[in-house]
Amino acid sequence: MFSDSAGISVWGERSPADTSDWLSLCRANRYRVSVDEYRAFRRDGYLVVRNLVSPAEVAELREHTEDLMQGKLPEQNREMRPRDISGDGGTSVQGLEAPPAHLSPDEKAQYFLRLHMLHRKLALHERYLLHPRVLDVMEVLVGPDVLALQTMLFLKPPGKPGQGWHQDSYYIPTAPDTLCGAWIAVDDCDELNGAMWFAKRSNAEPVYPPKDGYGHGDTQIGNIAYVAGTSDPNDDANDLSPVANRYDQILVPAKAGDVVFFGGHVLHRSKKNFSADRYRRSFVSHYCNARSFTQWGQHDGAVPDAETGSTNGAHILARGDTHLPFAQPLFGTPCAAQLPKEERATQNGAVAAMMGDTDSGLMGAMPTDPDAKDDH
C-alpha cells in the first residue's frame, strides 16, 4: 500500500479500471517538478527530490529487506544458485534464494549485496517500480511516455564494497538515449556508509564504449576512447576515472525517503560502507522514454521481437503511450499499460495544433486532427 508524504495511504488494492486516477494530472498528491529542479537535472545530470517517498513506505521497504536478508519471505527457497561476485566492481549477481540456514542472523545479513529484477517475482518490487510519485518526476524528465525497465535492491551491509565510476547507458542502451535512474534511499546515507558520488555535469560526456566484453557506447564518435575497468572501484584500473577527474566530484547524501534521479550519461560511483553497524539500503529502478528502442534484457530472459530485435515488449509501460510493444505488470499494479489504447492516447493530450501558413505569410498555429491522413 502506498502512502503520501505524510504517511497517509494514497492507494490500496485497485483494479485496472481505477488506473487512470493515478495517472491524472489533477491527482491530489501528484509531485510537481519545479523549473529549478528541471534545470538542475539538465545542467548537473542528477536531481535529489527530498521526501518523495513517505515514512510509511520507507518502513515497508526496510521491513521487507530485513525479512529478505533473513530468508523469511514466502517466495524464498533453500535451493542455492551460483553467485558471481567477480568482474562487477565488487557487486554480486544473486537470485532470491534464502541464505544458508546454518548462518547466524549477522552472517545472513552479510549474504546479500544486490538483487536484480525482483519486480518479476515480488509484487512489492513491482509496486515501487511503478510508484506514482516517482513516475510523476520521471514523466517530466524523460516522458511523457515512460517505460519501466529494471529494478535493483541494494542492501550494502557494513564492510561491503562500492562500485567504481560508470555510466548507466553503458549497461542499458536505449535509442534515442533516454535512460534515467531513480534511487530511493531506504536508509539515511552519507560518506561513512557509502552514499553515491556524482561527477557533476559529466552528463555532457558521450557514453564511452568497452574495449572488449559487455558494454555499449557512442562508437560513431570518431576520436572516442574505448574503456576498460568500468565500475571497478580501483580508480587506477578504471579508465573512466580520468574522465570523472575533469569534473567536480560531489557526494550526494540522502535521507530515507529521498529519491535521487540521474541520467544515463552522468558518471557516478559509491564507495565502501565504512560504518560498523549501518546499512545503506536502496531501491533503484531504471526507465526510458517508451518510444525509445531497446534490446536490453536478453541476459535476463527478455525475448527479442523476431522482426525488429527489440525487447521493449518485456518491459512495462508506466506512463503515456507508445508505438512499440510493452508488457503488462505481472501483479496488476496500476499503470498506463492497463489502459485501453484510446485512453492512453489522451493521458498527456493528443496533438491539438501544428505550425502552418497563415494569410499573412507568417507561421502560426492551426487546428489539426491527429488521425488525419497527410495528402502530401
Q: Assign 332 to helix, strand or coil.
A: coil
Check if the beta carbon of residue 281 is closer than 8 Å to that of residue 158.
no
Write out the three cell numbers for 109: 545479513
Sequence-distant (≥ 6) Cβ neighbours of residue 292 within 8 angstroms:
147, 174, 175, 176, 177, 178
User: Any idea where the domains of the chain sit in the sequence?
Assistant: 2-351
Residue 234 amino acid letter: N
Give the span between the Cα atoms of 286 and 308, in whole angstroms.
22
- pLDDT truncated to tens, each residue of the chain (376 aa)? 444 544 444 444 444 445 667 777 778 899 999 999 999 999 999 999 999 999 999 999 999 999 999 999 988 874 444 444 434 333 345 678 888 889 998 888 888 888 999 999 999 999 999 999 999 999 999 999 999 999 999 999 999 999 999 999 999 999 999 999 999 999 999 999 999 999 999 999 999 999 998 999 999 999 999 999 999 999 999 999 999 999 999 999 999 999 999 999 999 999 999 999 999 999 999 999 999 999 999 988 889 998 889 999 999 999 999 999 999 999 999 999 999 998 888 766 555 555 555 566 666 666 666 666 555 4
> To 10 degrees, what angle do helices 35-44 and 132-141 make?
70
Q: What is the pLDDT of residue 223?
A: 95
Angle at alpha carbon of residue 53, lines to 48 and 54, rounded to 5°:
135
Write out the three cell numbers for 286: 531504471
Give the span between the Cα atoms of 67 and 142, in whole angstroms.
34
Q: What is the pLDDT of residue 58?
A: 97
Check if the beta carbon of residue 285 is closer than 8 Å to that of residue 129.
yes
Write the Ramachandran bin of 5: left for phi over 0, alpha for psi from -120 to 50, otherwise beta.
alpha
What number of helices (H) and strands (E) belong to the chain?
Answer: 9, 15
Give the span between the Cα atoms of 281 and 188, in whole angstroms.
9
Write out the three cell numbers for 92: 554480486
Q: What is the pLDDT of residue 284?
A: 98
Q: What is the pLDDT of residue 327?
A: 97
Give the span between the Cα atoms of 317 and 333, in whole angstroms.
11
Nearest to 200 by CA among 259, 244, 165, 138: 244
Q: What is the pLDDT of residue 370?
A: 60
Terminal alpha carbon distance of the chain: 52
In terms of CATH, what superfamily is 2-351?
q2cbj1_9rhob like domain (2.60.120.620)
Strand pairing of 2-3 and 163-166?
A: unpaired
Check if the beta carbon of residue 171 is closer than 8 Å to that of residue 234.
no
Write out the three cell numbers for 83: 553467485
Give the span between the Cα atoms of 318 and 128, in whole angstroms.
12
Give the span between the Cα atoms of 250 and 116, in whole angstroms.
27
For residue 339, how many other CB atoms are within 10 A of its CB? 21
Give the span between the Cα atoms of 137 and 182, in whole angstroms.
9
